Every structure is written in C-alpha cells, then in structure tokens.
Chain A
Amino acid sequence: MNSWKTHTPEGVLDVLENACAFKRRIEENILNTFKASGYFEVQTPTFEFYDVFDNDNGAVDQSAMLKFFDRQGRILTLRPDLTTPIARMYATKFGGVPLPKRISYAGSAFRDGDAVAGAIQKEFTQAGIELIGNSSAAADAEVIATTIRALLACGLDEFQIDIGQAEFFKGIMAQTGLDEETIERIRKLIDQKSFVAIGEIADGYKIDKDLKELILELPNLFGDIDVIEKIKSKPLGERARAALDNLIEVYGILKDYGFEEYVSIDLGMVQGLSYYTGVIVKGFTYGVGFPVCGGGRYDNLIGEFGEPTPATGIAIGIERVISALSHKKIAQEPLVVDTLVCGEVARGTAFKIAEGLRGSGLCVEMWLGGEGAEDYAKSRGIGGIVRVVDDETIDIVNLQAGEVTRTSIFDLLGGDGR
C-alpha cells in the first residue's frame, strides 16, 4: 500500500520561511490598517458546530464544508468562512455594547473542493472587517474604503473594487412576478453574463416589454457610475430604485474618501443573494483570475443567532493578494542572519554579546559547538562571525572580505560590556 506520510493532502500547503515572512508582513499591513480605523482583532475557533453554518442565510453550500464528529456524535465543521462565526460571537457575547461595533480578524478558512484541481486551495487565509449595528450607506462606504486602504498598504495599486446591490435584482424580479425557480435560472444566467440565454428565457414569459429590456440589459450594466444614469429612466419599482439610490450614495461617500478611481459599478452582480441584503463588493486586480476580496451587507445573518442586527463587511484573500504582488514582481526580501556567534570557551560572554547585538536590531545565531562554523556561515549566507577568544577578547571574522579583526567586547558593545 502507498504511504502518504511524506505528502500533504490536496489543497493544503507548507509555507516555507521566506514565503511565511512575506505572508506575515501582508497580514500585519492589513491588520494594522484595520486597527487604525478602530477595527480590533478577535479570534474564533477553527471549528464549530455544523449548525452555526447551516442556516437559511448561509453563504457556503454544505457540500463544500469539511465535517467531522465529536464524542456525542454532533457534527463539527472546519469554518468555511469567518464572518458567520463572528456573527455568532457578536450575537452571543457582545450584548449591549455601544454601536456601531467594529471587528477585524485574520485566519484560515476551509472549503472542500475539486480534488483533481489541486491548485484550488482547501485551506486559505482571510483577513477582514465587520461593521455591525449600522445600516447606513456610510457604513458600507467605510468598509470599502478601509479595504482599499488595506490593499494599498500591501503594495497593490492597480485594482478595482466593484460594487453592486442585491436588492436591485431582487426588486426587479419581484416586479416580474415570476416564480422562484425561473428567477433562480435568470439569476444564474445573469451571473454568467450569458446574454443570449437570458433573452430566450425572457421571451418565454409574459413580462412587461420595458422590464424585459432591462433584464436583458442586466449583464451589461457594469462599468463606471454612468451605468446607473443609463437605466434611471427605466420602469423601476420602489425597491430597485431605492437600491440604486443607495449605491449612488455609497459611491458619493467613496468619492469624498478620494477613492473613486478604484470603484466601479456592477449591477449584474447576483452571487450569494440569499446571504447579501444590500451592497455587494468584489475586488479585482491583474495577475489573479479570482477576486482578491469580497463581501457586502448581510442584515439577516446575526438574527440567526440572536437579536437581529444589520452588518456589513469585507474579507481579503491573503494568498490572492500575495499572488497579485508576485505578478507585479514586488520583491519578497529573503530572510538573512547577520551574525554567527561562536563562544564555547567563554559561554557567558558569548551569550551577552549575542543579546547585545540582537538588542541593536541584528539577527544573531549561536553556534552550537564543534567544528565547521565558518563553512556553515558561508553556505548559509551569514555576513560575519564573532568568535569569543576569552572573557574580554573577540575576533570579528568578515566572511565577505576574508578579514579577521581582533577587538574587545567593550569596543563591540560599547560601555563596559556589562
């Protein structure tokens, strides 16, 4: 039988040191940006009861969740997203806090996918924010602006944030009076921007002519803010019109943030409509075939766990940001060790020197004893060796220049060396 012990399962990865350092830096840039706007980080468990994710307003299909059992036979699930656990946490732990409540997070999420296409990651890292307890356009705009700032802080500049409105499509469909099944078919086709097939469906039903034209036009309604102007004259019901007004308001606020260059409109954004109740957001950039961030308003989710509370939020896909950055050839600086300290003859002094150098910001490794320190340092790319000769004397070996300088511990660390 094959042994799998030297492999990782499809869809999960080891992250090696340089990549790991880069990933941490990206996460820190993002979390610091969030924190600076009052979004403080929380952590939720990596797995939860399946019931948490099994609700009418869920964002993830159950077949995409990785499940197992606890000792009582209850179903547990590796979290497929981080927003749902935060909604649960908020509803059960934050009773009576002043609103709005700002929360940020960073962590792994898990989704089971196509086992053959190993490149689709089953474990991926998301960092995001939730703004809870406020249903205004200002809240949606703040979340979008904060996300834009976070992407900029990572070093991305050529990206585009698309905003749509779940209520727009729902409103228009309510006007048609079509049954749910047909609406779902139309939704799928609009989601695929399948211009022709939508026409075929629309022709098969008795729908008002102007309304039909509008539905046919839906996949086309993306681009700059003008697309909204284009359809204002159409026979929109109150619900669809309110959705457009809301988008215009959000766009206006983003303009005041000075971010309009990053923002576009897509009225044909109709994914996850059972989950989103207002603004929907997706971010795109060059070099990644998938959105780098996504989110929107989900006013019905927190109510699944307690007091109904409006909320809006966006998550950034860390791995996708990293692949966009590597496409931009943004250098991932390799990790380096500055100095190797060898000092078996006077160990206490050697430790003091190492700590002293670390205190001044250098990365210092200790040689653990025996022969071969110089060869190790050279092949590891370490710039120099500090060799302790006795309690006061040291040799500084500059490996690049091949020079050895004898000096004292006081000269190296300054002061009297204590």
Chain B
Amino acid sequence: MKTLTIALAKGRLAELSIELFEKIGLDCAQMKEKTRKLIFNDEKNGIRYMFVKASDVPTYVEYGAADIGIVGKDTILEEGKNLYEVLDLKFGACKMCVCGWADSAVPGGYIKVASKYPNIAREYFSTKKNQTIEIIKLSGSVELAPLCGLSEVIVDIVESGKTLKENGLAVLEEICDLSARLVVNRVSLKMKKDKIMDIVNKTREIIK
C-alpha cells in the first residue's frame, strides 16, 4: 500500500485539521505533543503528515510532494495552482475584502492598493471592476498603508473587523468568502483514489 502524504498549514488551521482527522478515526496523538518535528508518520494507517508554511501548501500538493493539503481558500486563490479543491471544511471562515477609511467608498481611477495578496487584488480590480490599479505588496500589518498614505485602500482578510475599527478603517467591498479547503494533487486522486476518497467521504459526513 502506498503511503499517503498530507500537508497541513502550520498554526491554527493545523490544529483544527488534527481535530477533524481524529473525528474520522485517524491517529494524530504524536502531533499534539510539543515538538519541533515537521514530519509525523502514522504507520498503522499508512499516512504521513507534514507541517508547512500556509502559502506553500498548494505548491507541495501541486508537485505531488504531498497528496492532500489543508489550506485556506485565500492561499489557494493567491497561489493559483493547478489542484483539485474537493471540500469546503467550513472552519477558519472569514472574508477577503477591500478596506479603507470608514464612511468612504473605493475611489475610481488609478489608485494604489496595498495587500499581502497581490494576485487576488489585481484579479478583483482588473476583472471584476475593470479598474487599472497599482499594487503595493506588503507582508503584514497592511492596515497601516492607508493610515500613512502609502495606499488608498487595502485588500486583506477580515475576520472580526476589530483591527480595522480600532484604526478608523472599515470594509468597503467584499471580494469573496474564505474558509479552509481540502485540496488534492491531480495525479494522486487518480493513483491513490480509494484511500483519498475514503478520507474525503468520511470528512464530508462530519462537516455536513
């Protein structure tokens, strides 16, 4: 039997994924211990778990280094990899939004947009709004950009909206809903169909 490799996005998503896997009867005990190991083997079930940076999950899965991955829809959209996105796991729910000064609207014309997600921002403005913009790629604390005049608006994930509010910002437009997704390599789904569909079907029952 071929081993199945699952890539999990380090952090909160991994914790929720482990909970989910335990519910469908997989053994995740070793992963809950405090350790710096990145790979765990569940030899009984023939499954190997890997912890990778969230934005790398689609890459591992696209190349087949991992057969399955669990990662946020934001990362999938941003990375634009060629994957099967078979399940919406519902957890980690939030929204991708255009945000700016509260009580304002997204300005038209040529504006600067700061974001950790340049591809999503470009796609939204150019395709959906038919607006040519300049993208400023940032790596964190994107809310700062409109505050100091670096950009007119930002494109970012909004969960509670608390950070926005405390900084005088608000959601101006919603781009899409986000949540954790189960993605599968295109070859693996065919070559390891039974094992993967078993996990997919059991998971689907649980999140119903």
Contacts and interface: CB of A to CB of B under 8 A. Distances in A.
A160 B62 contact: no
Contact of B86 (A195, A284, A286, A289): A195
B187 A193 contact: no
A285 B64 CA distance: 11
- Closest 4 pairs between A and B when the two form their complex, measured CB to CB: A289-B64, A193-B84, A196-B88, A284-B187
Q: How large is the interface on A (under 10, 10 to 19, 20 to 34, 35 or more residues)?
A: 20 to 34
A194 interface: yes
Interface stretch (B14-22, B109-117, B189-197): B189-197
B4 interface: no
- Max chain B C-beta neighbours (<10 A), residue from A117, A192, A266, A288: A192
A89 to B, nearest CB: 30
Given A160-B191, A162-B190, A289 B85 contact: no
A266 B193 CA distance: 12
B190 A289 contact: no
Interface in A139-197: 160, 162, 192-197
Nearest to A292: B187
A77 interface: no
Q: How large is the interface on B (under 10, 10 to 19, 20 to 34, 35 or more residues)?
A: 20 to 34
A222 interface: yes
Interface in B151-208: 184-191, 193
B70 interface: no
Given A193-B184, A289-B64, A284 B190 contact: yes
A45 B181 CA distance: 44
Contacts of A42: none
Given A195-B86, A196-B88, A289-B62, A264 B190 contact: yes
A289 B87 contact: no
A157 to B, nearest CB: 13
A289 B185 contact: yes
Interface string B67-108: 000000000000000011111100000000000000000000
A291 B63 contact: no
Given A193-B189, A264-B190, A289 B65 contact: yes
B85 A284 contact: no
Contacts of B188: 289
A196 B87 CA distance: 7
Nearest to A266: B190
A192 B63 CA distance: 16
Contacts of B83: 192
12 contacts: A117-B59, A119-B63, A162-B190, A192-B84, A193-B86, A195-B86, A197-B85, A266-B190, A287-B64, A289-B62, A289-B188, A290-B63
B188 to A, nearest CB: 8
Contact of B64 (A160, A162, A288): A288
A264 B61 CA distance: 22
A36 to B, nearest CB: 28
A195 B62 CA distance: 19
Interface in B24-68: 59, 61-65
Interface of A: 117, 119, 160, 162, 192-197, 219, 222-223, 264, 266, 284-291
Contacts of B64: 287-290
- Max chain B C-beta neighbours (<10 A), residue from A196, A219, A223, A291: A196
Given A284-B190, A287-B64, A289-B65, 16 more contacts: A192-B83, A192-B84, A192-B85, A193-B86, A194-B84, A195-B86, A195-B87, A196-B88, A197-B85, A222-B193, A285-B187, A289-B61, A289-B63, A289-B185, A289-B186, A290-B64
A285 B189 CA distance: 11
A291 B186 contact: yes
Contacts of A289: 61-65, 185-188
Nearest to B188: A289
B2 interface: yes
Contacts of B88: 196-197
Contacts of A194: 84-86
Contacts of B193: 222-223
B191 A284 contact: yes
A289 B183 CA distance: 13
A222 B62 CA distance: 20
Nearest to A117: B59
B80 to A, nearest CB: 9
A172 B127 CA distance: 28
B206 to A, nearest CB: 14
A283 to B, nearest CB: 9
A206 B193 CA distance: 33
A367 to B, nearest CB: 46
Contacts of A266: 190
Contacts of A195: 86-87
Contacts of B85: 192-194, 197
Interface string B139-157: 0000000000000000000
- Max chain A C-beta neighbours (<10 A), residue from B184, B185, B190, B193: B190
A276 to B, nearest CB: 17
Contact of B191 (A197, A219, A285): A285
